[in-house]
Structure 1
Amino acid sequence: MKKEEKVVVGISVGDLNGIGPEIIIKTYEDPRVLDLNTPVIFASGKTMQFFKNHFKSKINFFNIDTPDKLAHGKVNVVNVWREPVKIEFGKEDPKIGEYAIKSLEAATKALKDGKIDVLVTAPINKHNIQSDKFKFPGHTDYLAKILNGKSLMFMVSENLRVGLLTDHVPLKDAANHITEELIREKTTTVITSLKQDFGISKPKIAVLAINPHAGDNGVIGNEDDKVLKPTLEKIKSEGHLVYGPYSADSFFGSNTYTKFDAIIASYHDQGLIPFKTIAFGQGVNYTAGLDKVRTSPDHGTAYEIAGKGQADESSFKQAIYTAIKIYRKRLDFNHYSKNPLKKASR
């Protein structure tokens, strides 16, 4: 792909009983978004027509059988299925979960085969997608397996980036998962992503403690002193600007986070609660560590407002912008990595 060409954005439709189709439609009703990329929605023409009618949208879909037949300047819909689907807004339905996975699998295959440039995923229900054929806690783990990468959940906004050491594991098990190997793997992924995906040549990273007050010298647990702190000291001695562990309770409220290019949290809610408090609606979930680009909005299926026309598309729109921006950053990074003299002469 040439840099001046439109980025082809593949979209998995998510849970059809949730707000996914609504935020997709609202996003591409804005002609400015369509000017920036070529969307390819993996669903079916009949299904998307239902949502168009329900939300009284004027959007026009271009139905195709394979992503090879996409048309630039149009909102393309690949027919992953053709049968009619019963939509019941706000209802958790295993059958709807099956369609969410059909969409995701088709979109991921297109991404892997180079038929689309990036993937943006609408929200799924992590419960109703489970089956004998699909046993992943969410998008991130599935994509890591299919795309053979060391994935990391990286929540990003304009002024804040938060990565996770552990993501979808029970809190009672989180500390046991945190080993020197895991810390090194996730830290390396964050450093690499900041360089190639965000253009930060010497990233500065803060790591949050596992226990309250970083364990208070062993009074509240010894994991920080025995595992996290010595591993971070080793990584720092190797020339990386990695600091911590920081006590998480005051880190965000004191604006300490503004002094770093990224923060690595020890577990899911430690990182996502402050991130969503600070950046909700403008935040994006980015799967770092893969050789392909995937983003998603920072919210779920929102069953309580599904079908009511109340969904805010801001985060989904931002997910598209972020995917495009990262994709182009990677083109630059790969180009100038191979031609360092060109970078120096710019």
Structure 2
Amino acid sequence: MSESSKIKVGISVGDPNGIGFEIILKTFQEKNLFKKFIPIAFAHPQNFFEESEKYKLDTNILEVKNIGDIQENFLNVIDIWDNPFPINYGKDELTAGNFAFSSLEAATTALIKNKIDVLVTAPINKKNIQSKRFQFKGHTDYLDKEINGESLMFMISDQIKLALVTDHIPLAKVNEFATKNTIIKKIKILEHSLKSDFNISEPKIAILGINPHAGDYGVIGEEEETFLRPLVKAQFDKGIRIDGPFPADGFFGSQSYQKFDAILAIYHDQGLIPFKTLSFGEGVNFTAGLDRVRTSPDHGTAYDIAGQGKANHNSFKKALHAAGEIFLNRKKFNDAVNQN
């Protein structure tokens, strides 16, 4: 792959007191990745050099002043802070949150301006990153505000693809947010993503129920009968290959998820518990529905092992590859649409 066709990957480093630096450095020890990607991290170069030395890694690191100076075959690092961050492994600090946001903001700006092709984000601490400039429950909500489109939290792995109607909201507010209009929007975003981002021409989608046992025909709850089941039928009649609502426990227990290209869960734990049980450490969080591509690993800051050299970088590497594949699939899809 020529340099011009290599995918420019912007990387936000996440909470510096977590495992972000470590998983990024470990990933790009694999020199074959440079055949496809030109990685660009937004941080302080000295932190990368010091962390690489600490873990005895041989990652090729290059300090650059701006994106115009990047080179292939290196992990390019653009300095966004005046001084290196004083890492305090495993500690929840406001300064670490400020650093994480600076990295995310710089990378997102580069993505919007087409200076990079895709964005891969290392884990943040959702508490210490909060500030006047970041009042969001996570990456997804922030990117939804900054980038064109309407976001959908979409977890993907080799075993399963699973999206959420609602994501980071309290359980007590699920019914308030999981309205008929919202569910219809999420179904349409999911179907389009499966076609454009994953090259599935006629995707099959399953939707889970809201109540235990999907309401047991009104015995446990009425939402499935009053609006969810009719909603699903209406979307099916319009040409979307969707089935359900299914009781979540039996659906995963019987491995029925294997019969579908993607599952739409109503709320966070309903979907993320089975997803992470099946795929933890190998899964990817993809923000579908936006006109730019962003992925991240399926885990958090891992303060408990930060600085110990124990972090597994598989999920970050999976996120890197997923971002590249989605970017190329979407380009191919859009080119075909424009030709028609």
**Contact 2:31–2:73 under 8 Å retained in 1:** no
State the shift of 1:3 in Å. Answer: 10
State the shift of 1:166 in Å. Answer: 0.4
Judge which range, 56-65 or 207-216, deviates more.
56-65
State the shift of 1:4 in Å. Answer: 7.3
Matches within 5 A, 1:266-345: 266-340=266-340
Structure 2 equivalent of residue 344 of structure 1 = none
Letter in 2 for 1:124: I
CA distance in 2, matches of 1:69, 1:223: 56
User: Are residues 258 and 3 of structure 1, via their aligned partners in 2, closer, same or farther at CA, if it must alter by over 3 Å?
Assistant: farther
* 1:89 equivalent in alignment to 2:89: yes
Structure 2 equivalent of residue 114 of structure 1 = 114
Structure 2 equivalent of residue 183 of structure 1 = 183
CA distance in 1, matches of 2:89, 2:107: 23
State the shift of 1:338 in Å. Answer: 2.1
CA distance in 2, matches of 1:223, 1:35: 51
**Contact 1:297–1:315 under 8 Å retained in 2:** yes
CA distance in 2, matches of 1:4, 1:201: 29
Deviation per CA, 1:103-123, whole angstroms, max 9, x where unpaired?
000000000000000000000
Deviation per CA, 1:242-278, whole angstroms, max 9, x where unpaired?
1110000111121100110100001001101111111
Q: Percent identity?
A: 50
Q: Give 4+ residue runs of structure 1 displaced > 6 Å after superposition.
A: 1-4
What stretches of structure 2 of length at least 5 have no aligned partner? none
CA distance in 2, matches of 1:117, 1:251: 37
Letter in 1 for 2:175: A
**CA-atom RMSD in angstroms:** 1.4
Structure 2 equivalent of residue 343 of structure 1 = none
State the shift of 1:126 in Å. Answer: 0.5
Matches within 5 A, 1:233-272: 233-272=233-272
Structure 2 equivalent of residue 79 of structure 1 = 79
User: TM-score, with normalisation over the residues of structure 1?
Assistant: 0.96
Structure 1 equivalent of residue 29 of structure 2 = 29
Counterpart of 1:289 in 2: which secondary structure? strand
Deviation per CA, 1:8-45, whole angstroms, max 9, x where unpaired?
11100000000111000000011122222000001011
Judge which range, 13-22 or 83-92, deviates more.
83-92
Counterpart of 1:252 in 2: which secondary structure? helix
User: TM-score, with normalisation over the residues of structure 2?
Assistant: 0.97
Judge which range, 48-57 or 89-98, deviates more.
48-57
Structure 2 equivalent of residue 149 of structure 1 = 149
State the shift of 1:225 in Å. Answer: 1.6
**Contact 1:179–1:227 under 8 Å retained in 2:** no
Deviation per CA, 1:302-334, whole angstroms, max 9, x where unpaired?
000000000000000000000000111011111
Structure 2 equivalent of residue 43 of structure 1 = 43
**Contact 2:10–2:107 under 8 Å retained in 1:** yes
CA distance in 1, matches of 2:200, 2:58: 41
Judge which range, 158-167 or 112-121, deviates more.
158-167
Structure 1 equivalent of residue 15 of structure 2 = 15
CA distance in 2, matches of 1:36, 1:251: 38
Letter in 2 for 1:268: H
CA distance in 2, matches of 1:2, 1:312: 30
CA distance in 1, matches of 2:183, 2:11: 32
Deviation per CA, 1:197-222, whole angstroms, max 9, x where unpaired?
00011111000000001111222121
Letter in 2 for 1:176: E
**Contact 1:214–1:246 under 8 Å retained in 2:** yes
**Contact 1:285–1:295 under 8 Å retained in 2:** yes
Structure 2 equivalent of residue 200 of structure 1 = 200
What stretches of structure 1 of length at least 5 have no aligned partner? 341-346
Structure 1 equivalent of residue 162 of structure 2 = 162
State the shift of 1:82 in Å. Answer: 2.3
State the shift of 1:159 in Å. Answer: 3.1
State the shift of 1:2 in Å. Answer: 8.7
Task: Number of aligned residue pairs: give it.
Answer: 340
Letter in 2 for 1:257: Y
**Contact 2:195–2:202 under 8 Å retained in 1:** yes
